[in-house]
Chains A and B, each alone.
Chain A
Amino acid sequence: MAVTTVSRKVEYLYNPPPDYPPRARRLGLEGEVLVRTRVQPNGECGELVLGQSSGYALLDQAALKAVRTWRFRPARRGDEEIVSWVEIPVRFRLER
């Protein structure tokens, strides 16, 4: 079977950053969460998993909650919009 290469990679359509969890801010928690999600042909998130924890449940949950609401431009193979996995680094940083 001939393999057609991906003609377009996944792009962000609507990806507001997560709100900083107030208690995490109060406790001074910072970190990076890696969220892996399966982008559906309709641009919504399918399966959503934590790829790498920040070490703090508060930040992990805030990242997952935000990504769940995002919309993407799905990947294409030829003319067909396809399912594909992406990995999203979500960083939480406090400004001093």
Chain B
Amino acid sequence: MPVTLALIRDTFREALARKIFWGLFALSTLMILFFLFVLKIDIVQGAVATLSVFGNAGPRGSQPVEQLVRGVYAGIATFLYTWGVFLSVFASAGLIPSVLEPGRIELLLSKPVSRTHILLGRYLGNVLVVSSNFIYLVLGVWTILGVKTGIWSPVFLVSIATTAFIFATLLTVVVLIGVLFESAALAIMVTVALMIISPIVAQTNIMLRLLSSEWSRRLWQGIYYVLPKVWDLGRMTLNAIQDRSFSGFMPIWSSALFGLIMMGIALRVFSRRDF
């Protein structure tokens, strides 16, 4: 455990030095400040009486407060899930290749620590750096909205778990590319490509109707089941926040399986590599 903690602390220290942590922290703080000072909500008898941004009042109405809050939750969750994850991948992609630099990795390997431990410690540190920012942003917005509206719906907090989970899944790809090619740029390209194609691949019902041959339909389905379900998990999060139902947990366990396989390959490659 002390070794794991040392590796995590080292990742945090490097993230701080590279201004990664501070960059994400500043973005989150900006959003929190927006909800704290800029967004003003007046509530009368459980409905939004006036809603103003930068002092400009929006249309008066009797929209239920809970509906408004859920809408804000959904907006934040969507921002966090897309841009938050994208920025986090972009910011942390260099943290794996940096540890493999000649002159640094030999010293790490000379310590009585297994290679698996080194890579997992680094990975865990990376996940915690990013997750701490997710927690800060979501808890901050949740608290401000709770104080302003009196609604303390814990369902918004689910977005911390799902966003951190999908980041952790995508980070396994970053780790694998990192140990294979030591290239942060390539790791970003592949991971962002996975994020971009996810909503396309997820349209299985449409594609199965459009594709003419049986093998191409199977191939599409195969690709869908193999790749992480970035899109589906995002939909699940939104549905949960907006109190809508969702069908099954397949996107979670199949994405977890994808992450485990990627990490397994990364560990295998890392343990066999010469430095």
Please say whether chains A and B are actual partners in one complex.
no
